[in-house]
Chain A
């Protein structure tokens, strides 16, 4: 039992000093002490590489529950269930508690739904899931408009942003210099304006500040939330980054002036056959730019979470005095890098959005060489 105590101590150190993502999932790491008594049993004991992998996969995905930690040995989850909203011939609203973490079927208005791998499937009364030859479930998936963990996180962040920036805005009514937390926010706002919007968009920057500032802080705060033990991974979700990139795409296309469209469909200054060749390439370029935005943010945040959680998982897999502190140190190191990445990715997303908008609104009355004068060298 000495080994168990070691793990317990390590985990205690963890929980006190450094609790990134460690116990916010459906399956808690703290039950590693069950190795000897209940090896590889129960839904929550995470001891093997496969279980760690599955656990990480699970964490990366959205959830219908907001769990702070779980007790794998008894299958208890500490947290709260979120509302499920389905479109299946009319809206069906019920609490995710009815699934009992995937263990039971939810019976709503005579229809049976099953939570399987975090997705809701329509099943028969026995809850059978049919698979195709590749192992994918073939059951009907009703459109899921649930308020999931990520939606809740976004709502909370939105509310937080509104409160913070409303506060900052109203603090200017009394005096020129904000007080309290506004002093932290103001330089960031100025940074987005002076170093992202102004140099890339030019004189028309004011129109896009609302979008750029909102997106910057939205991504930044969600990235930072992802580093907390709340265990949310919003910006590492492809649907979220897709939506962000889509809005950039729409804004860019709607701000495009005639020069922008001319450059896409009838490139000036090249022979006619080249114009025809360039047209599809440019059209593709319209789409690849936001696509890159989407993938970049998604991949960076997902990778960060995977690395942090893998290192944490290694502590559990190795379970000895050397690996524990070593991987703890690694995790700390990577988490600090992730903190940097959180800022960096918010910055890059905003910067590139500004750059694309800048390309669309750029005036071509004078030669591009002259543009270097417009950009302040800092």
Chain B
């Protein structure tokens, strides 16, 4: 301790004090203040940049979500439209086939009526012809049977034989 006190140089202390105080004041004004200001402003800048990047990211996310929503809506709409179209198609096909059926039925029915009529006409015709033919045949037969007088007499006699007086 005594050695320490003995070694203590007042001159050195004096210069050191002056140098240090002047150095602190000078550096404070010319170096530390601008350095710390720049560091702070840079850090603020970085902080802001990060913040805005984060905001942009969020906005992007929102946009993406919106897009997704729109896309989903569009898809749903498309599906609905397709479904509707399919239904319409089915309905049209069904209607068409029903109509065709009805028309066909109608044609068939008409044809049947016509056929019936034709058949009837033919039958009537046939009947007439058969009747005519029969009459002709009968005429011929009768004519043949009653061709002689004897036969005419025989007939009358047969007939008279059948007739019994009551």
Q: Is there an interface contact between A242 and B26, defined as CB atoms closer than 8 Å?
A: no
Q: Is A22 positioned at the interface, with any CB of B under 8 Å from its CB?
A: no
Dominant secondary structure of chain B at its interface with chain A: helix
Q: Which residues of chain A come closer than 8 Å to B15, judged between CB atoms?
A: 145, 147, 151, 154
Docked-complex contact A239 and B27, CB < 8 angstroms: no
Chain A minimum-CB-distance residue to B45: A176
Could you say which of A89-97, A162-170, A354-362 contacts chain B? A162-170
B14 touches A145 (CB 8 A): yes
Q: Is the CB of B38 within 8 A of A166?
A: no
Contact with A along B4-27 (1 / 0, CB 8 A): 101111111111110111111111
Check A239–B16 contact: CB distance below 8 A.
yes
Option from B6, B8, B45 in Cβ contact (under 8 Å) with A242: B8
Residues in chain B near residue A151, CB distance under 8 A = 11-12, 15-16, 19
Contact (Cβ within 8 A) A166 B36: no
Query: Using Cβ atoms and an 8 Å threshold, which residues of chain A touch B30?
Result: 162, 165-166, 169
Which residues of chain B are within 8 angstroms of A279 by Cβ–Cβ distance? none
Task: For B12, give the chain A residue with the smallest CB separation.
Answer: A239
Contacts of A214 in B (CB 8 A): 20, 23-24, 27-28, 32
How far, in Å, is A111 (CB) from chain B's closest CB?
18
Answer yes or no: B74 CB below 8 A from chain A CBs.
no
Tell me, yes or no, whether A331 is within 8 Å of chain B by CB.
Answer: no
For chain A residues 110-169, which have a beta carbon within 8 Å of chain B?
A: 136, 143-148, 150-151, 154-155, 158, 161-162, 165-166, 168-169
- Which residue of chain B has the shortest Cβ distance to A177 in the bound complex? B42
Whether the pair B13, A239 counts as a contact (CB closer than 8 A) is yes
Q: Kindly state whether residue A306 has any CB partner on chain B within 8 Å.
A: no
B148-162 interface code vs A (CB 8 A; 1 in, 0 out): 000000000000000
Nearest CB of B to A123, in Å:
19
Min CB gap A147→B, angstroms: 7
Q: Would you call A148 and B12 a contact (CB within 8 A)?
A: yes
Cβ-defined contact, B27 with A243, below 8 A: no
Interface string of A293-326 (1 = CB under 8 A from B): 0000000000000000000000000000000000
Cα–Cα, bound, A50→B77 (Å): 103
**Interface status of B31 (Cβ within 8 A of chain A):** yes
Q: B82 an interface residue at 8 Å Cβ cutoff?
A: no
A168 contacts across to B, CB distance below 8 A: 31, 35
Complex CA–CA separation, A166 to B16 (angstroms) = 21
Tell whether, in the assembled complex, residue A243 and residue B31 are in contact, meaning their CB atoms are under 8 Å apart. Answer: no
Q: Is the CB of A169 within 8 A of B34?
A: yes
Closest Cβ–Cβ distance, residue A360 to chain B (whole Å)? 18
- Interface status of B39 (Cβ within 8 A of chain A): yes
Whether A218 and B20, one on each chain, are in contact in the complex, defined by CB atoms closer than 8 angstroms, is yes
In the complex, what distance in Å separates the CA atom of A162 from the CA atom of B30? 8
A144 and B23 contact, Cβ closer than 8 Å, known pairs A166-B30, A209-B32, A238-B4: no
- A176 — nearest CB in chain B belongs to which residue? B42
Residue A206 at the chain B interface, CB threshold 8 Å: yes
CA gap between A75 and B30 in the complex, in Å: 46
CB-nearest residue of chain A relative to B6?
A136
> Is the C-beta of A259 less than 8 angstroms from some C-beta in chain B?
no
* A25-68 contact mask (Cβ, 8 Å, vs B): 1 or 0: 00000000000000000000000000000000000011000000
Q: Is A224 an interface residue (CB 8 A)?
A: no
A76 in the interface (beta carbon within 8 A): no
Contacts of A147 in B (CB 8 A): 15
Q: How distant is the Cα of A239 from the Cα of B8 in the complex, in angstroms? A: 5
Residues of B within 8 A of A237 (CB): 7, 9, 12
A61 and B7 contact, CB distance less than 8 A: yes
What is the bound-complex CA distance between A148 and B21, given in angstroms? 19
A-B contact pairs, 18 of them (CB 8 A): A62-B9, A136-B6, A148-B11, A151-B16, A154-B19, A162-B23, A162-B27, A162-B30, A165-B35, A166-B30, A170-B34, A172-B35, A189-B35, A206-B36, A214-B32, A237-B7, A243-B20, A247-B21
Give me the interface of A with B, judged by CB distance under 8 Å.
Answer: 61-62, 85, 136, 143-148, 150-151, 154-155, 158, 161-162, 165-166, 168-170, 172, 176, 186, 189-190, 193, 206, 209-211, 213-215, 218, 237-240, 242-244, 246-247
What would 17 more interface pairs be, CB under 8 Å, given A186-B35, A209-B36? A62-B12, A145-B11, A147-B15, A151-B11, A151-B12, A151-B15, A151-B19, A154-B19, A161-B23, A168-B31, A169-B34, A170-B34, A172-B35, A176-B42, A193-B39, A237-B9, A247-B20
